[in-house]
């Protein structure tokens, strides 16, 4: 059973996790996790189960897509009500010089910047559950997967969506 954590541990852990990510050290990120960690991240194709899955995700996906990724703490850490976990708000920046897998987006060579809210629960001094929430639409616009707001491409997409919606209403109505 997870025990309550204190402020010193919360700050210590957050600093070490972010230092490992900023050093692009997938092994160090994984070593901060329990063997059976559950890590939910919308950038992953499915929830990551286990330390090795966390290592592979960071090494083969995140650090490949954003090899210069940097995490900056914006706010927190804040304790969860039961004091067995923390929440933070982060800014992640980097240049997309590698493919974004999945789904297979080609590198743009351009910068990306997005914020996340992250919720972590611990077992002893290791991360047991981690959930990342981010604005995927904003990120998709930055990498060219979704047209910029207000542009011609967005207007064409809206027109196509309305056509598809009309057909769906006829089929289901």
pLDDT digits (tens, 9 = 90+) for 42-55: 989 899 999 999 99
pLDDT for the residue 2: 65
pTM of this prediction?
0.85
pLDDT for the residue 102: 65
pLDDT for the residue 63: 95
Q: Rg of the chain's alpha carbons, rounded to an integer?
A: 19
Spatial CA neighbour of 94 closest among 68, 58, 133, 61: 68
pLDDT for the residue 100: 81
Say if residues 59 and 26 touch (Cβ distance below 8 Å): yes
Cβ atoms within 10 A of the Cβ of 140, count? 14
Phi, psi values for residue 113, rounded to 5°: -150, 125
Residues of the chain with pLDDT under 50: none
Say if residues 127 and 40 touch (Cβ distance below 8 Å): no
């Amino acid at each position: 059973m997870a025990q309550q954590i204190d402020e010193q541990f919360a700050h210590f852990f957050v600093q070490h996790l972010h230092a490992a990510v900023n050093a692009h050290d997938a092994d160090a990120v994984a070593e901060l996790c329990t063997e059976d960690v559950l890590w939910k991240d919308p950038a992953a194709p499915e929830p990551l189960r286990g330390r090795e899955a966390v290592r592979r995700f960071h090494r083969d996906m995140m650090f490949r897509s954003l090899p210069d990724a940097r995490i900056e703490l914006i706010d927190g850490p804040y304790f969860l009500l039961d004091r067995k976990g923390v929440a933070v708000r982060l800014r992640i920046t980097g240049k997309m010089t590698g493919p974004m897998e999945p789904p297979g987006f080609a590198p743009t060579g351009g910068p990306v910047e997005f914020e996340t809210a992250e919720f972590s629960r611990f077992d002893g001094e290791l991360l047991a559950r981690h959930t990342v929430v981010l604005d995927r639409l904003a990120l998709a616009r930055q990498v060219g997967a979704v047209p910029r707001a207000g542009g011609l491409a967005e207007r064409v997409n809206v027109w196509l969506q309305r056509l598809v919606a009309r057909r769906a209403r006829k089929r289901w109505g």
